[in-house]
Amino acid sequence: MELKNNPKGCVMKKLCLTFLLALLALAGCGEAQSSGTSTQSTDGTITRTLVDELQMESEEDGTGVFTLVLTYSGKTYKNVKLNVTSYLTDERKEESAQHLKTVEDEETAKNDMLLDFESEWATDQLRELDGVTVTSHMTEEAFILDISIDPEKVDLEEAKQNEFYGDLFESIEDYSPESWIKELKSIGYKELGEKGKWKASVRFL
């Protein structure tokens, strides 16, 4: 079901493509330790959060933010969480608000909008995998997608075959947490707690 007030499908696909290309860029990294802010529990488990804020080339496309949370102990991943927040422009927020005023069942309309958003992110493919949990919701400001991966339960060999998210699972298999963090930071991801704010303009061929 296509709703004209939804974020453009092409925008979602561009954001997805940018994220996956960033993961593909993680090649040839070593096992060097990376520095940065982290949270360590009493059992030695460490949690670190990285953010990549993307400014779309056209202002009408809005912005998107990726938040990646890695929980690990040594070289073993305990959990990998990915949050995708797609912010709506003022124009699209107004369109959404006006659309919801014209429908009889506002809750159903919101659910339809979320289904469209999830469809652009191919979440149906993720939900088929054991050890992966997907949830989404919307606010007046944004569409929000949360993906939680339990590396101990997911079949990485099967997950790597996923057309849309295979590279994500390949990175989990191929790189230690510290190495992955180091490489992500080298291509622009900012670790929460570090000084400064990172923001870049995204251009597509």
Task: Read off the amino acid at residue 144.
Answer: I
And the tokens for 137?
């919701």
> What digits encode the pLDDT tens for the residues 50-95?
998 765 555 566 788 889 999 999 999 999 999 989 888 888 788 7
% pLDDT > 90, the chain: 31
> What digits encode the pLDDT tens for the residues 29-57?
444 344 445 666 667 899 999 998 765 55
Residue that the structure tokens 């797609």 belong to: 86
Residue 46 CA to residue 176 CA, distance in Å, equals 13
> What digits encode the pLDDT tens for the residues 166-197?
888 999 999 999 999 998 888 888 998 754 44
Mean pLDDT of the chain: 75
Task: Read off the amino acid at residue 69.
Answer: V
- The pTM for the full model equals 0.73
Residue that the structure tokens 């990175």 belong to: 171
Residue that the structure tokens 């014209």 belong to: 102
Residue 79 CA to residue 58 CA, distance in Å, equals 35
